[in-house]
Amino acid sequence: MKTIAHKIIESHTTAESVTKGSDVPLKIDQILAPDDDVVPSFLQFETLGLERVQTELMVCYIDHNTQQMGPESANDHQFLQSFSSKYGIHLSRPGNGICHQLHLERFTVPGQTVMGADSHTPTAGAVGMLGIGAGGLDMVAAMAGYPLYLKVPATILIQLTGRLPAWTSAKDTALEVMRLLGVRGGKGKILEFDGPGLKTFSIPERATIANMGTETGATSSVFPSDDITRTYLRNQGRASAWKEIKADPGAVYDDTLSIDLDRLEPLVAKPFSPGNIERVSAVEGRKVDQINIGGCANSSLRDLAAVAHILKGKKVPPEVSVSVTPGSRRIYIILSQTGILAQLLQSGIRILEPTCGPCLGLGQAPPSNSVSLRTFNRNFKGRCGTPDAEVFLVSPETAAASALTGTITDPRNMADTSPRFFVPKDIVGDLDSPDDMIVSPADHPAAVKVIKGPNIGSIDVPKTGDTSFHSRVLLKLDDDITTDDIIVAGTKGVPLRSNVPILSELVFEGIDPTFAQRAKQAPNGTIVAGDNYGQGSARDHAALCPKYLAIRTVIAKSFARIHLENLINYEILPLIFSHPEDYLKIDRDDELQFENVYNALENARTMKVKNLTKGITFSVDLGFTARQRRILTEGGLLNLMRREIRQKQSSGCESKG
Ligand code: SF4
């Protein structure tokens, strides 16, 4: 009696049994690589000496950093396109759409696995595919043919019953999941959806829910692959990709939650967390300055058709700036063919290119001290590009209703608008060549020269020193520190992602602008944090840049999954307080002494750390898997892979982990 997650993991592992908490190697069928983080990853792959990526399919999407405000982004694009051509990677050109929307449309396959260097890769779970976000170095390993090592998560069943009332939608369901689980409730778990309410959700709507599951800290979210999935894939011209996937009757779950859709009402995530859930009716009337509709959570045809229906024949007041971003170029074309685009434009909104854009602070930064309503999936402080702006996450319906009033508005109050609206058929056959902005790899890779502009800098990071070392606490942080807090995104950070030495100057800039300088003056530094350190984006740079600044350890009450792996891969020790109360006994600038760390990493479960400043000793947990211990003792994942691949090549076989 198996769950969907269990079936997919079992069919992709060589482990003898798939039991919760066991560390299993997971074969990766597809890799999704968004542009913003992957230039260093591609440079790292180059150093492995392999001629082609080893997975069945890999797609690089230029979707985050498309604005060519200076030569840096365009140089990155040239590098990514030439590298992809040479090494066997498909490349989606800038303007083609947002990676998760495009991957859902063009490449997802029920029952397969996709790993992405992006935390919202579980969006693929909408069609019964197991999508897992990971860091850049884990992606490099998958490119080299290694499996993804996964601690088998618990599985939570989320039973959907009933039918959503008018003017509530998939986003409200996703926000209800956030209300039930919060930003930590999904950690170490896969969310699996089932129940009679499923049949009321189209694939793009399931994608909204799977996408937002990431914000609970879940490893993945997955839906059954049913007749609705079959129709969706057929409409995409990919009928042969379909197969049925469902849990066995009586499948055993670790926990079950129920959502009665009939009882849902429009919800909102208030600043500054996607887990800060409230009813829209409770915050109604609050003045709004800006509204952004789009992002990988809510940029489907269905969502934009709902927005156009609400705005049709009406005007947005001049005090509110409203933008709409289609999720893909194909959606954009269908909007224009069906007249929906004209409806949107006539209402006074702005249409943006199909990219991530405002979601990660690239454009549409709201005014100072303002309120911005967004259909995105994150509202961390400052992510929008304006540190003192308040961002509320809402459904497309709430966003559109609010766009007409200039205040937060419950869409159920639109008495003059019928809740029934026209959704164009999501049929790819309407386009002559749906993939003509996806460039295939070269037939003759040897002839392709990888183009490296001047901003594509070194990725060398300092070697770690002795097994015993002295360390200063450089920063003490609270709970739920995000990767946005560690390394800024937006117009400041994203164009610098290819140049680690320069980007490293911005580590923790929003919290303590002196951090980078102090870290350089005190090598082997320690960061102390509360619970859930490193939540949010998969951002490899949030480990790579601290590594460049010679950070040696992070001691926290707990870590977010992807960031924990990223720290290990870059040989930064992620240590967990054995006794959480010890967090209170340590302060910034305390001097610490670590002894015989490599010995402890051999097999110890805990390690003692001396706080020389306070004259006390405290214990930290070393709950690492055998492979994680090996990565840490062999100088990080890249060094370990180089060694293993060299050994295999010298013994005459190809790399296969
Ligand atoms: Fe792009 Fe935002 Fe989605 Fe990340 S969360 S992939 S930045 S749209």
**Structure token pair of residue 57:** 């399919």
CA of 295 to the centre of ligand 1 (A): 6
Q: 103: CA distance to ligand 1 center in Å?
A: 13
**CB-count burial class (<10 Å; 0-12, 13-18, 19+) for 465:** exposed
Measured in Å, residue 296 CA sits from the centre of ligand 1 at: 6
**Spelled out in words, what is the top-level CATH class assigned to the domain 4-263?**
alpha beta
CATH fold label, 469-644:
Aconitase; domain 4 (3.20.19)
Ligand 1 centroid vs 539 CA: distance in angstroms? Answer: 12
Residue reference for tokens 């559109």: 400
Buried b (16+ CB within 10 A) or exposed e, 120-148: bbbbbbbbbbbbbbbbbbbbbbbbbbbbb
pLDDT at position 459: 75
The reported pLDDT for the residue numbered 31 is 98
6-24 per-position pLDDT tens digit: 999 999 999 999 999 999 9
Distance between Cα 275 and ligand 1 center (Å): 17
The yes or no reply on domain 267-411 and CATH 3.30.930.10 is no
Cα of 331 from ligand 1 centre, angstroms? 17
Q: Give the distance (Å) from ligand 1 centre to CA of residue 538.
A: 11
Side chain identity at residue 178, one-letter code: M
Residue 557 phi/psi, 5° resolution? Answer: -75, -35
Domain locations in the chain as residue ranges: 4-263, 267-411, 469-644
Contact status, residue 618 vs residue 611, Cβ threshold 8 Å: yes
231 C-alpha to center of ligand 1: Å?
A: 26
Residue of 36, 61, 62, 64 with the most ligand 1 atoms within 8 Å of its CB, for mutation? 64
For CA atoms 162, 165, 171, 177, the dihedral sign is negative
Which of 60, 67, 118 gets mutated to test ligand 1 (max ligand atoms within 8 A of its CB)? 118
C-alpha–C-alpha distance, residues 156 and 451, integer Å: 46
Alpha carbon distances (Å) from 315 to 30, 299, 304, 627, 632: 44, 21, 16, 59, 58
Q: Ligand 1 centroid to 494 CA: how many Å?
A: 13
On the question of pLDDT at 655 being above 50, the answer is: no
Residue appearing with tokens 């995000």:
482
Ligand 1: nearest atom to the Cα of 299: 8
Nearest CA to ligand 1 atom 3: 296
Closest-lying ligand 1 atom to the alpha carbon of residue 537: 4
Task: Give pLDDT, residue 436.
Answer: 86
The model's pLDDT over 358-413, given as tens digits with 9 standing for 90+, comes to 999 999 999 999 999 999 999 999 999 999 999 999 999 999 999 999 999 999 99
Same fold, 4-263 and 469-644: no
Q: pLDDT digits over 591-611, tens only?
A: 999 999 999 999 899 999 999
Going by alpha carbons, the residue nearest to atom 2 of ligand 1 is: 359
* pTM score: 0.96
DSSP letters along 42-109, please? Answer: HHHHHTTT-SS--SSEEEEE--SS---SSHHHHHHHHHHHHHHHHHT-EEEPTTSB-HHHHHHHHT--
Burial group, residue 52, by CB count within 10 angstroms (0-12, 13-18, 19+): middle
Neighbouring CB atoms inside 10 A of 1's CB total: 9
pLDDT the model gives residue 67: 83
Q: State yes or no: pLDDT of 654 exceeds 90.
A: no
Reading the block at residue 437, the tokens are: 């902005």
Beta pairing partners, 482:
535
Ligand 1 — pocket residues by CB below 6 A? 64, 98-100, 118, 120, 295-296, 356, 359-360, 376-377
Give per-residue pLDDT as tens, 418-436. 999 999 987 776 666 778 8
Closest CA to 300 of 270, 340, 243, 272: 340
pLDDT value for 494: 86
Task: Tell me the average pLDDT of the chain.
Answer: 95
- Mutating to test ligand 1, I would choose from 99, 359, 375 the residue with most ligand atoms within 8 A of its C-beta, which is 359
